[in-house]
């Protein structure tokens, strides 16, 4: 366990996450032919949120959102400390359940629908994430991020299908169109702001910061596939994020049915098939 990296994550991830969000907005604006806000705009936004008055629908929301932020940080820190990938995933799920519960607790129509949709998204992406972890285990014989990082072989050459499947669920996780069902960064859409409808001021600020942490963790996951070659890995992470922005700007939102179906089909076709071939190669052919 590398505590230093975990501490670095806790301190730096919001900075990196905020910058990534700023770049995201800039690039998005350029794609749409706008100039876009300054790079540091996400920080200004969040700072402003923390200056606002605390307005609540119910005080218990505060608890759930704090727990959401705390467990996102915990799962990310575990990941960067080189911990067990499955435990990281379960802590990550726990964090999102808190976000969902926060939305439910408000007893409000928009956040209620957002919560239900968020749950659908969770069950859409979770199998693929677990399959990714299992795939990494099959190549490196370890669930520990530290061991996976230390692997001499580039994981991507064994797990191309898993990688593609992971990219698909990444779109869901980054809350990008076409899968931004439960909340998105574009205000007032079909379900207002979904899960986050009833959060305002400092509470919404915490949700934003948690999202930054989350994005850094997810990009770290992408990095793992190429960890054998760090420069390439960083390049790939940048390309992947750019592609996500491109997809975000070129696709309209789809229904939850299509989201669930496509995520599961991709998980089955790309993820499981990939694992099956790996299994066949190692068990039957002893490669």
CB of 275 to other proteins, least distance (A): 6
5 binds other proteins (CB under 8 A): no
For other proteins, give the closer residue by CB, 78 or 207: 78
Peptide bond into 115 cis (omega under 30): no
State which of residues 59, 152, 190, 284 lies at the interface with other proteins (CB under 8 A): 59
Measured between alpha carbons, how far is 20 from 2 in angstroms, rounded to an integer? 25
Return the ∠ at Cα 74 (arms to 116 and 41), rounded to 5°: 75
In the structure encoding, which two tokens stand for residue 72, read together?
């996102």
Question: 37 and 29 in contact (C-beta within 8 Å)?
Answer: yes
Residue with tokens 């370890």: 142
Q: Considering CB under 8 A, how many residues would be counted as binding other proteins?
A: 63
**Which of the stretches 2-10, 60-68, 219-227, 245-253 binds other proteins when contact is defined by CB under 8 A?**
60-68
State which of residues 86, 151, 246, 254 lies at the interface with other proteins (CB under 8 A): 86
State which of residues 6, 74, 216, 236 lies at the interface with other proteins (CB under 8 A): 74
State which of residues 116, 208, 244, 248 lies at the interface with other proteins (CB under 8 A): 116
Measured between alpha carbons, how far is 193 from 186 in angstroms, rounded to an integer? 8
27 binds other proteins (CB under 8 A): no
For other proteins, give the closer residue by CB, 167 or 236: 167
HSE at residue 148, side-chain half, CA atoms within 13 A, is 31
State which of residues 9, 43, 80, 110 lies at the interface with other proteins (CB under 8 A): 110
198 binds other proteins (CB under 8 A): yes
For residue 85, CA distances in Å to 3, 82, 116, 238 come to 16, 8, 27, 23
For other proteins, give the closer residue by CB, 104 or 213: 104
Report the sign of the C-alpha dihedral through residues 51, 219, 195, 74, in that order. negative
Name the residue among 162, 170, 270 with its Cα closest to residue 219. 170
Measured between alpha carbons, how far is 199 from 107 in angstroms, rounded to an integer? 12
Phi, psi of 189 (to 5 degrees): -110, -160
In the structure encoding, which two tokens stand for residue 177, read together?
């169109």
Per-residue mark of binding to other proteins, 133-162 (x: CB under 8 A): -x--xx----x-------------------
Instruction: Give, as ranges, the residues between 165 and 194 that touch other proteins (CB under 8 A).
Output: 192
Q: Which residues bind to other proteins, rule: CB under 8 A? A: 1, 53-60, 62-63, 66-67, 70-71, 74, 78, 83-84, 86-87, 90-91, 93-94, 97, 100-101, 103-112, 115-116, 119-120, 122-123, 126-127, 130-131, 134, 137-138, 143, 192, 197-198, 257, 264, 267-268, 272, 275-276, 279
């Amino acid at each position: 366990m590398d505590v230093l990296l975990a501490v670095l994550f806790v301190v730096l991830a919001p900075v990196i996450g905020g910058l990534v969000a700023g770049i995201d907005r800039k690039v998005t604006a350029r794609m749409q032919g706008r100039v876009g806000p300054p790079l540091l705009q996400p920080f200004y936004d969040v700072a402003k949120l923390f200056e606002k008055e605390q307005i609540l629908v119910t005080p218990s929301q505060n608890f759930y959102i704090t727990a959401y932020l705390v467990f996102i940080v915990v799962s990310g820190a575990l990941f960067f400390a080189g911990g067990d990938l499955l435990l990281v995933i379960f802590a990550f799920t726990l964090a999102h359940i808190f976000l969902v519960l926060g939305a439910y607790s408000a007893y409000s129509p928009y956040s209620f629908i957002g919560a239900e949709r968020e749950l659908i998204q969770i069950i859409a992406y979770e199998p693929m994430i677990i399959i990714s972890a299992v795939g990494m285990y099959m190549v490196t014989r370890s669930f520990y991020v530290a061991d996976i990082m230390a692997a001499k072989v580039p994981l991507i050459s064994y797990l191309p299908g898993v990688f593609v499947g992971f990219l698909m669920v990444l779109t869901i996780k980054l809350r990008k169109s076409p899968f931004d069902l439960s909340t998105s960064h574009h205000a007032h859409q079909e379900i207002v702001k979904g899960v986050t409808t009833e959060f305002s001021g400092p509470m919404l600020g915490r949700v934003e910061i948690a999202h930054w942490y989350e994005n850094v963790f997810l990009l770290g996951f992408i990095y793992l596939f190429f960890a054998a070659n760090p420069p390439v890995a960083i390049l790939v992470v940048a390309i992947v994020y750019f592609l996500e922005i491109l997809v975000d700007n070129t696709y309209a939102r789809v229904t939850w049915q299509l989201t669930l179906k496509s995520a599961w089909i991709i998980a089955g076709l790309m993820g499981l098939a990939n694992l099956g071939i790996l299994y066949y190669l190692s068990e039957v052919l002893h490669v």
